[in-house]
Structure formats: C-alpha cells, structure tokens
Amino acid sequence: MPPSAERVRTVEVVSHGDPGVIAGAVARLETIATEAGVEIVDVDDPDLAVVLGGDGTTLRALHRFLGTGVPVLGVNFGRVGFLTTMSQDDMEAGLRRAFAGEYRIVELPTLEVNVDGLEAVAVNDIVCGTSTIGRMVELAWAVGGEDLGVLPCDGLICATSTGSTAYNLSSGGPVLMWGLDAIAVTFVSPHSLHARPLVIPRGLDLVVRNETRNASARVIADGSPIGELARGRQATVRLGERRCLLALLPEMTFFHRYRDTFAS
C-alpha cells in the first residue's frame, strides 16, 4: 500500500507499563506533536496510535484498536521490537515523517477460537497445551473436517503471520510474511518423528480435541488463558474477520525487519 497522503491530526499514545523503560519518551513525543500541530488525545478514533514500548506493548495496542480502522505505529523501547518501525534514537525524525503522512499500512489477520461457546480473538497465536508441566497431552486434530489423527505432545500452536515469529518460530514452525492470510500449525515437543508444521488457508477450520486420560488441556489466546479442555472436549480455531492495522515507515519492510532480527 502506498504511503498515506493525509497529515495526522490526532494521536493516542500507548506506552510500556514501566515508566523507567520510557523515561523522557512521552515528553519527547509531546514536543514533536506540538511542533507538527498534532493533538494527543484519549479517544476511540484517533488518526494514529503511537506505541512507546516493545512487541508486547505493540500487541496490546493492536488488540486495543482491533476493528476500529486506527493504524498502530511503534517506537521500539523494548528488546526485539519486531513489530515496531523505528528505534528510540530515530524517534524525532521518524515521528515527524509519520505525522506528515509518510507511512504505509499493513493489514494483519487475526484468529478466533471457540471453546464450549466461549470465544476469543488473538493477534499472535492460540495455543492448546498441557496443563501440567512435564506431562504430555494427546491431541486429536482435524482441518476442514478431515481427521488428521491423534498426537502425543506438549501442545499445539496456531499462529498468524504476525505471531509466526514468536512461540511458533521457537518451536520449529515456519515464518509467515506479515499479512499472509493463513495459519501456521505447529506441534510443541511432539512424541513422533513424523510431525511436521502445516500452513492452512482461510476458510478451513482447525478443530483440536483433547483425548488424554485423566488430564485436561489448556487453551491460551495471546498468553491469556481462555478455558480448559477435559477429555473429549474441543476447541475450534479459524482466521478472524477483523484485521489489525500496522503502520510502518515506507522503508521498513518485513524482510528489512527479518534480516535485522533473525539473519544477522
């Protein structure tokens, strides 16, 4: 998508919870905004949301503005900052450009999970895993209504393209380019030599059923527990209808970030 042609007039700030991490950053942002004629607001529909933090804070902002049409732009005050578009040292120059409308937007897909009628949305991933450390669970899984068997493991990760570089990657799953409309399905410590990650497209539901005797499995969406699966209970995961909007400076591509984070 080409850079926006519209100047930013209002921004909302989402910052790291530890004031020590962003010491002085809010004052710097206020100065830049004042010079650019941008108003800092606390409303549901600003022109742009600016994150002062790392990937966790950016993820929180993406949840906050999910489905609102508000793009989220990150200044990295964290460790990795894979989803951010500028470093804290480049904050002044980068925000001046963004406030002038010099940014592009990437649409990020989400996941929906249903556990016994309870629904949740995830930006990164949905995990169905063991509730007891050191004990495997036996998970049956099916895609698009086709049974794919039962596998003993520590868990199963369903990741969006956004979350493919998180828990999914550390468990040997594939990296999906930002915005790719697919789910990466990866088993955690599978008790099998033949378990392989799988990428499935929109339109196919993934159903995970707990087949473990005398043990429950836990369903977690973006790190938050959603529910427990007793034996015979199941969770259904699919790509969501709503999308997040990630704002990036024009030169900050997925491969730029990938190279700096994983290939160097």
Q: What distance in Å separates the CA atoms of residue 252 and residue 87, rounded to the nearest whole number? A: 11
Residues 128 and 214: their CA atoms lie apart, in Å, by 16
55 is a catalytic site residue: yes
Residue among 248, 239, 82, 77 at smallest CA distance from 170: 82
Tokens 């339109």 correspond to 203
Integer Cα distance of 27 and 30 in angstroms: 5
Which one is catalytic: 42, 44, 55, 90? 55
Report the distance separating Cα 184 and Cα 180, nearest Å. 10
In the block, tokens 């040292």 appear at 89
Residue that has been written with the tokens 């990650």 in this structure: 197
Max Cα distance, the chain (Å): 64
As a whole number of Å, the CA-based R_g of the chain is: 20
**Residue 22, phi-psi category: left (phi > 0), alpha (psi -120 to 50), beta (remainder):** alpha
Q: Are 152 and 138 in contact (CB under 8 A)?
A: yes
Count of alpha carbons within 13 angstroms of residue 208, beta-carbon side: 33
Closest by CA to 130, choosing from 196, 189, 195, 200, is: 189
Convert 213-234 to b/e letters by CB count within 10 Å (16 or more is b).
eebbbbbbbbeeebbebeeebb
* Catalytic residue ranges: 55
